[in-house]
Chain A
Amino acid sequence: MEVLAQTVAMGFLMGGLYALLAIAIVLIFKATKVFNLGTGGLLMAGAYIFYFFFAQLMRPFIGHPDPLAPVMVTLALWVLLEGLIVTVWGGGIKSYPSGLPTGVLSMGKAVVPEILFIGFVITVVLVISLAAFFQYHPLGLAMKVTAESHQIAQSLGIDVKVVFAISWAIATGLSMLTGTILAVHMGLSEVLPNIALKALSVVLVGGLNSLIGAFLGGFIVGIIEALFTSYLTPYIGRGVGELAPYLILLVILLVRPHGLFGIKEVERI
């Protein structure tokens, strides 16, 4: 009887994953009448990308005494990926014939690209679900503890490796989604990573440890950048909009280093 229970339970859970994959196949078939036998390849690519980022790069740095080392690894990761991409596809801007919507929507007096509007809707949904996850789910709470200290988290019985893995998986997925949307809007090129540098400014405006801060900070920085681009370009010159996030970053760091919504860290001796 035990064997049966075990078998059925395992089968049930594996079946859930099969169902997820089946949905992926059905989605494409129902929408486009193409039977996607390549689902397995996509599945493998996802698994390997995650394996590379997390298992091979970040895992040696769990509980590392030098906080600088993992940061430098992430910087090197950026250069590595950029290098690989340039090796395969070469430099320069390419148009992005993805088939994703490229039209415009008119909203009152303003006209906006359709893809940015879709991106906005996705953002709102994701932010609400992530905020709820951090606030209520035990794993979300475990993540907060891990950020505080790897050692404390481990002694509380939290599996730091799991926390690392899941947060990296979510973040990788979010970045890939954003990259796809941005490439439709701006074209495909190796300068896309610079957008992520602007996100640094957003993160600091909102506060490094606040999801809602990151959400609102994004709008603050986005609007100020657009205002700079529209109103200051005639006086200062092209590119002043690009500069806006960095100016905001410097100002916020000097005036309120922990951001608008972040929690001030207490320094202990």
Chain B
Amino acid sequence: MKTIFEKSQNCPLTRHRLPDSALIEISLDQIIPKQYIEPDHGDASDQQLILPELSEVELVRHYVKLSTQNFGVDTDFYPLGSCTMKYNPKINEYTSSLPGFLTHPYQSSAQNQGSLELMYKLEQKLCNITGMDAFSLQPSAGAHGEFTGITIMKKYFHDKGEQRNFIVIPDSAHGTNPATAAMCQFGVITITSNAQGEVSFEELEAAMKQGDVAGIMLTNPNTLGLFDRNILKITEIVHKYGGLAYYDGANMNAMMGKCKPGDMGFDIIHLNLHKTFSTPHGGGGPGAGPVGVKSFLIEFLPNPRIVQEENEYRLVDSATNSIGKIKTFFGNFSILVRAYTYVLLMGEDGLTRASENAVLNANYLRVKLQNDFTLPYNRICQHEFVLNDETLVNGCTTLDLAKRLLDYGFHAPTIYFPLIVAGAIMIEPTETETKTTLDRFVGTLIKIKTESKESPDLLKKAPVNTPVYRLDEVYAARNPKLKYEK
């Protein structure tokens, strides 16, 4: 489809959105030196097209058409492992757009009591759900939360006068984990997952014994969808050698009301509100990645903190050894509003049921697929599980399977992750899917497997029912074209 720039045709009257006159009649170069001002490209004679120029009707049609070429949770099943593509309740959209929540961030606290109360209460709810003692709601994303958490770890040891230069990370971890460690100037010690898909205990102890390890970054359930049965021993070992345990909360959707990361022995955690707490993914953002800590680390949290004194909420720089701020203002506030709405709606019973049904749905898919696909770790999984492409024939791969799924109107699961399973296909259905949808998905996957035997071209040439066919990634990378140019 043509870009909006190509659809431009100058029609100034249809975009007469602002009045012509300012509060004062004066020419611009009387208030700003002419040399600072860009020549006016709005002149008809000037051919430079800086921004699209078109009527509102053309603008709307352009973006509406584009939206129809886009797949969302509201379109159909979106089983992306590790992403928790659960349904985004529409009540969240209503509450987050209440005018009272759209205020200027620097309104005085007295005029923003509702927002401060919301953040204070959300913090408390998150503490209760996770077993941590305090939260910062500033981080804007999971990776941002990881950065905050690892910086807290760094400051903790720095203030103690302990030089610890490494962080232990399992080979199944999401790429952001080692990237965060490296960004914070830590070296990474990768430990292998054993045949049961769990952290190698011996390797962990050997690494911790070196004395130079600040801690571990772990997600549990892990990226294979398995709950590491040694978790208490793992965090114990880390603590024994003076390290801290960091929990990547990406997989929290399996754990609400079933197990708290705080009870697993973690000292610092982050949550992904856009995964577990139903806030929309927005095409890749915005999200929120609040960071929770045990009480001995509260002094390091970002400031300001929200305190409650006699029914009034105030912002106070009470974290005495704070790592500092990590986000302007308070965080992705409207995302926090959505998460809080969700927690009120669901309550303890609803959140527990969500985790239970998420795990139920995943196990149901697992057993329905186990006869047709290889599951490298076939035991009771939590909210997601991994299979691979071994049972596809005629040279069909995981990629081909994923593309063929698009032809059947599903979004493909996560592919080629985690790295420890060759040809991995990671499936996370979430709790907001009907049994009918799950059965339909199973049927389609099995059908595609049969297609690989009987007419493999259907997979290799897929997708053909989508707005574009497979795209040339190599061409894109070798000839970078990162903006429209006439």
Do these two chains really belong together in a complex?
A: no
Using a CB–CB cutoff of 8 Å, the interface residues on chain B facing chain A are: none
Using a CB–CB cutoff of 8 Å, the interface residues on chain A facing chain B are: none
